[in-house]
Amino acid sequence: MTSEAKIALITGGSRGLGRNAALALAQAGTDVVITYKSQEMEAAHVVAEITALGRKATAIQLDTADTSSFSIFAETLGGKLNTIWSRNQIDFLVNNAGIGAHASIETTSEDTFDQLMSVHLKGVFFLTQTLLPVIADGGRIVNVSTGLTRFSLPGYAAYAMMKGGVEVFTRYLAKELGPRGIAVNTIAPGAIETDFGGGVVRDNAAVNTMIAGQTALGRVGLPDDIGPVIASLLASGAGWVNAQRLEASGGMFL
């Protein structure tokens, strides 16, 4: 049973939505490799939680904005897969790691734009490219986008542009990886209470109330609203879902 478990790699699995997806996958019987950028202790805690659920897990440091580190990351991943699982491939890749930045078009600096592009667009493209040989045929990829690609809120132009690019990338990945039996989908969460963007959705009462008022289900999202959806896209019966954008927002701005 253990040796037959699927293995998921989740970028940014130390906190927030990535952590929640890692736990949801573990609860569904999947082993997990998470990455973190700087919060090593948080990542170790997630690994311990997964282990307590009876699944295997490990954490690897990765800065998804640093493309020059990707080949070394792949080597490190290969070593862990071999040591822990006696395998050299993963089954699932979840491109989740991300940062928030809020600035109007008028005030967005080139540095902020470049940072968002590096993490959310270039990093996703080249990390996926690097890992293509490491994803097993018949595997799956989930790219994390945002509801902000469908609806527009002032201050999120650059961020949403990058996520829009990720949604296009999803469709092209699905096209090119189809011959290998790999399905690729986008999940687009609405506003969720995490540390994201300085925790504004969780900690700013006015923002929280505004979003809840624009959400059909009448509240802001929680990590538990997202992780299980990511896990469901990677479940054994969902492999025919391909090249789709699935919004999980409780019905924001309908």
Ligand X SMILES: NC(=O)c1ccc[n+]([C@@H]2O[C@H](COP(=O)([O-])OP(=O)(O)OC[C@H]3O[C@@H](n4cnc5c(N)ncnc54)[C@H](OP(=O)(O)O)[C@@H]3O)[C@@H](O)[C@H]2O)c1
Q: Which two tokens stand for residue 190?
A: 């609405």
User: In this structure, are residues 249 and 147 in contact, taking their beta carbons and an 8 Å threshold?
Assistant: yes
Told to check if 252 binds ligand X by CB under 6 A, we report no
* Torsion 24-20-229-56 (CA) sign: negative
User: In this structure, are residues 30 and 9 in contact, taking their beta carbons and an 8 Å threshold?
Assistant: no
Q: Catalytic site residue 159?
A: yes
Name residues contacting ligand X, limited to 18-37 (CB under 6 A): 18, 36-37
Told to check if 12 binds ligand X by CB under 6 A, we report yes
The DSSP symbol for 210 reads H
Closest to ligand X by CB, 31 or 42:
42
Catalytic one among 36, 156, 159, 172? 159
Closest residue to ligand X, Cβ-based?
16
Q: Facing residues of 33 across strands?
A: 9, 58
Told to check if 58 binds ligand X by CB under 6 A, we report no
* Torsion 167-173-179-184 (CA) sign: negative
Told to check if 76 binds ligand X by CB under 6 A, we report no
Q: Which two tokens stand for residue 179?
A: 């011959």
Region binding ligand X by CB under 6 A among candidate stretches 1-9, 90-98, 206-214, 238-246: 90-98
Residue identified by tokens 């822990």 is 84
Closest to ligand X by CB, 77 or 119:
119
Provide the binding-site residues for ligand X, judged by CB under 6 A.
11-12, 14-18, 36-39, 42, 62-65, 96-99, 119, 144, 146, 189, 191-192, 194-196, 201
